[in-house]
A and B are shown apart, each in its own frame.
Chain A
Amino acid sequence: MNKITLNIDGRELQAKSGQSLLSVARENGIYIPTLCYHPRTKKAGKCRICVVAVEGLPGLQVSCSLAAADGMIVHTYTKKIIETRKMIVELYLASGKHDCPTCEADGECELQDVAKVLGIEKSGFPMSDKGYVTDSSSPMIIRDMNKCIHCYRCIVGCNDLVVNEVIEMGYRGSRMTVVCDLDSPMGDSSCVICGECVQLCPTGALTEKKAAGKESNRDTVKVRTTCPYCGVGCQIFLHVRDNEILKVTGVEAAKPNYGSLCIKGRFGYDFVNSHDRLKSPLVRKDGKLVEVSWDEALDYTAKKLSQIKNDHGPDSIVGIGCARTTNEDNYLMMKLMRGVIGTNNVDHCART
């Protein structure tokens, strides 16, 4: 790729041709605030917070979308730029319900961050209420469109990243809002509850229902682990406080899922602290299930399987692999069946 040279705020910088101005600036430690930009949903040009001035081009340009060009002279910090950013953030703060103390996203909100960086204590504009009713119809997601900043990230995520194609921007002007299908409540829509939209939302417009009221951004430890549900090995963060998982998020910059998860990986963590969870093997003795040690359980199983094989032949036994185990584990299951038991009866839970 061609190397180009451009000037940002008086610094001569090298860049790759076609690279966005925002990415050149960030690589070189030049701060440009953003709201609608996300590395996975890429250029959006909706919030206009990342505006910069480019000599020779009219008006202001959005740095997330404009490609760097050789010889470009860019300013990221003029009065017009700062005042434009402040105006936009103050407009956001004045419209809708951005009440930080009661917001689930408090502490993890990009609008809050940008407002602080710009030194905005209070919006200079009169407060106006958008008047949307909170949509709690989905079993896992709470949607409060009063806090939506129309960044389009959830829309790109739903349509282009996970390709569930449930949500889109509906209506227009200040009545524009994210709609599910043809403006159904989320719980009645074709949403499969993967939570991609929640992961991408920069504010408290989309939050996890199960984490509501638990202050999941405060005093929690983020534990990185691998999702236990299937062999894909999605990377997840468990947000843990006092041995309780408050919520799960995808790890953005890691293979194989880059932040995306399915309904089970993102929301199916209740089993960890469930009273019904099996923590040790059970063997039925005198008609009752009794807790035993692993050694006893394995010895019992091996003895019984050998007995069945002797009495009825190896083909009387079948091994069913599990979708939640890795390929390596399933390979060993096959080895156990073919090499030890001596049968070709091996299958998979998703097919039986």
Chain B
Amino acid sequence: MKKILTANISGGTKISGYEALKKTLSMRPEEVAFMVERSGLRGRGGGGFPAGLKWKFLPQNSRGTIYLICNADEGEPGTFKDRHIMEFDPHLLIEGMVIAAYAVGAKQGFIYLRGEYGWIAKFLPKAIDEAVREGLLGDNILGSGFSFYIDVFRGAGSYVCGEETALIESLEGKPGRPRLRPPFPGTNGLYGKPTLVHNVTTFSCIPFIIQNGPDAFKAASSTGRGGTKLFSISGHVNKPGLYEYPMGTSLRELIYEAAGGIKGGKELKAVIPGGLSTPILRADEIDVSMDFDTLAAVKTMLGSGGIIVMDETVSIPRVAQKAARFYAHESCGQCAPCREGTAMIKLLLDRMVNGQGEQDDLDQVMRLCRYINGSTICAFGYAVSLPIAAMIRKFRNEFEALLENR
């Protein structure tokens, strides 16, 4: 792995040497917000919520405290985009956060870093110190009178803490369990104050938008909506890794051109397009444009852009079993359908894969997926039920074979 650079800001990071920040400080905050809104930037963590709209939920022109949080709790299986930004271009993230803070009137920001990213926790504060030293962060940024501070907080290794209200609870020092909504973080977030939470990659899009304008951002995508996107490609491909492509690039192109096709000349069987929590696609469904709306139309999601490629050797029931184990382990346990439901799905899939399934086990798993969906406190319910239901729906014969051959 490359040695991390945190020095040499004036030499410029890849996208800018804080040029976008300089431009920002010459604008009024509402002009900055308007540019982001016009760019059509949508949350890159998985939800795809329009960033401009999220900013509008915050109190406008308020003198009260507003907190800014960067969600760097990258826990979605198959996703490794945030860590690359933080490793190789931490100043892009810092610049994006300062610009957002200026636009919404936040004075204090936090980076909630995934517990397992210990090595990033070591040097991220160094990058922050560096920015402070150069007057790009801290008191009176570049002499503008605007001040903003960032602290790094390291999580303790829980998937649910990537959910924004659980993240806020954890940041407050409590167990990471999602809150009931309403109220939403836009009005009652960290310590009860209005709070804006964005993913690392969402913040990192902002400097480009400010520097080059919303239209240039839109034009960077192949559909005219949404800039570029980082795709983490893993699994049975020749060149697994992180690829930045225009939003709307076809899934086939990403697998066969970017990632060099299937390893060992085998056949493609299935692809999970946006991290484990997104419904699976069959090999015949990969001629699809990788953007929020197109994927929603085929009943899956862009999610975090974590593409997991599986070749013909993969047993989908085993994939479902591994997924169920993960969700049962990571459920916070707070609400009944998720706590009991994930444990039950795991139990049923375990015994099916082990050749001890009962005839109605498959129907019971589908029943659980149907009714966990929409009845839980947070989106974890969707995250577990949609992908497992899709695996069973699309590869039902493999599950049925387990029950017949027991």
Binding site for B on A (CB under 8 A): 43, 45-49, 51, 58-60, 62, 65-67, 80, 83-84, 87-88, 91-92, 94-95, 124-126, 128, 149-150, 169, 171-176
Is B35 an interface position by the 8 A CB rule? no
Is B375 an interface position by the 8 A CB rule? yes
CB distance from A1 to the nearest CB of B (A): 19
Given A84-B375, A174-B328, A174-B340, the answer on whether A124 and B364 have CB atoms closer than 8 Å is yes
Q: Whose C-beta in chain B lies nearest to the C-beta of A88?
A: B336
Choose among B331, B347, B373, B377 the residue that contacts A173 (Cβ–Cβ < 8 A): B331
Across the interface, do B340 and A95 meet the contact criterion of CB distance under 8 Å?
yes
List residues of chain A with CB within 8 A of the CB of B336: 46-49, 88, 91-92, 149-150
CB distance from A296 to the nearest CB of B (A): 65
- List 16 interface pairs A-B (beta carbons < 8 Å), by A numbering: A46-B334, A51-B375, A59-B373, A80-B374, A83-B370, A84-B374, A124-B360, A125-B364, A126-B347, A172-B175, A173-B329, A173-B342, A174-B333, A174-B340, A174-B342, A176-B333
Choose among B333, B340, B371 the residue that contacts A172 (Cβ–Cβ < 8 A): B333
Across the interface, do A87 and B341 meet the contact criterion of CB distance under 8 Å?
yes
Q: Whose C-beta in chain B lies nearest to the C-beta of A175?
A: B333
CB distance from A197 to the nearest CB of B (A): 18
CB distance from B122 to the nearest CB of A (A): 27
Q: Is the interface of B mostly helix, strand, loop or mixed?
A: helix
> In the docked arrangement, what's the CA distance between A104 and B24, Å?
67
Given A65-B180, A91-B344, A169-B175, the answer on whether A174 and B339 have CB atoms closer than 8 Å is yes
List residues of chain A with CB within 8 A of the CB of B340: 88, 91-92, 94-95, 174
CB distance from A122 to the nearest CB of B (A): 13
Is B158 an interface position by the 8 A CB rule? yes
Across the interface, do B348 and A126 meet the contact criterion of CB distance under 8 Å?
yes
Given A51-B375, A126-B348, the answer on whether A84 and B180 have CB atoms closer than 8 Å is no
List residues of chain A with CB within 8 A of the CB of B158: 172
> In the docked arrangement, what's the CA distance between A169 and B360, Å?
34
Interface size on B, residues (CB 8 A): 36
Is B337 an interface position by the 8 A CB rule? yes
List residues of chain A with CB within 8 A of the CB of B344: 91, 94-95, 125, 128
Across the interface, do A80 and B371 meet the contact criterion of CB distance under 8 Å?
yes
Q: Whose C-beta in chain A lies nearest to the C-beta of B368?
A: A87
- The digit string for B357-386, where 1 denotes a CB below 8 A from any CB of A, is 010100010011011111111000000000
CB distance from B330 to the nearest CB of A (A): 7
Given A48-B336, A174-B333, A174-B340, 18 other A-B residues pairs in contact with their CB atoms under 8 A: A48-B335, A48-B337, A51-B375, A59-B373, A66-B182, A80-B374, A83-B370, A87-B341, A91-B336, A92-B336, A126-B348, A126-B358, A128-B343, A128-B344, A150-B334, A172-B158, A172-B175, A173-B331
Given A43-B180, A125-B364, the answer on whether A174 and B343 have CB atoms closer than 8 Å is yes
Across the interface, do A150 and B333 meet the contact criterion of CB distance under 8 Å?
yes
List residues of chain A with CB within 8 A of the CB of B367: 83, 87, 124
CB distance from A53 to the nearest CB of B (A): 9
> In the docked arrangement, what's the CA distance between A87 and B373, Å?
12
Across the interface, do A173 and B343 meet the contact criterion of CB distance under 8 Å?
yes
Is B281 an interface position by the 8 A CB rule? no
Choose among B331, B335, B351, B371 the residue that contacts A87 (Cβ–Cβ < 8 A): B371
> In the docked arrangement, what's the CA distance between A94 and B351, Å?
16
> In the docked arrangement, what's the CA distance between A94 and B347, Å?
12
CB distance from A12 to the nearest CB of B (A): 24
CB distance from B351 to the nearest CB of A (A): 8
List residues of chain B with CB within 8 A of the CB of A60: 374-375
